[in-house]
Structure 1
Amino acid sequence: MSENQAGPTLEPTLSEWLKAREETARHLATGAPRTVDETWVQRLADLLATERSWQDQYTELIALGSPDGNFPSSNR
């Protein structure tokens, strides 16, 4: 197994995250009345869960390259 194949991969999660964001942007751009649409609400919930997952995975990957193995805390 090569070094590039070891560990977690972000591509599947990133692809789904970007797709969900595009779907949300298209939905908001339609100018349709902002009624509660259960399908859209579910997609938004999925987007937010995917985004949290993606951020966690990305943070873990970045931390692998740091001297102490930890991602620095935010200054914000």
Structure 2
Amino acid sequence: MATPPDGPVLGPTLAEWFKARDETRRHLEASQAPVDEEWVQRLADLLATERSWQDQYTELLALGRTDGKFPRSQR
């Protein structure tokens, strides 16, 4: 998908989403049962950040559609 030179760029958003996913994965891998409240809060914060980047990436991809909306999943 081509974007105007001054338009949105997918690459950095995708990179940040993957970075957030990796940070969440590392946090999960480092856990040991039982987890404490601080660990759970950190996971909630990481997941919110990951979701935010995913939403931004999805919105940018939707710019390539004529209706400007990301399609619903067929799964």
CA distance in 1, matches of 2:19, 2:7: 19
Q: Over aligned residue pairs, what C-alpha RMSD do you find?
A: 2.4
Q: CA deviation at 1:63?
A: 0.3
Structure 2: tracts of 5 or more residues without a match: none
Q: CA deviation at 1:35?
A: 1.6
TM-score by length of structure 1 reads 0.65
Which SS does the other structure have where 1:48 is aligned? helix
Q: CA deviation at 1:59?
A: 0.8
TM-score by length of structure 2 reads 0.66
* 1:25-64 equivalence runs, <5 A: 25-27=29-31, 32=32, 34-64=33-63
Identity of aligned residues (%): 51
Q: How many residues align?
A: 69
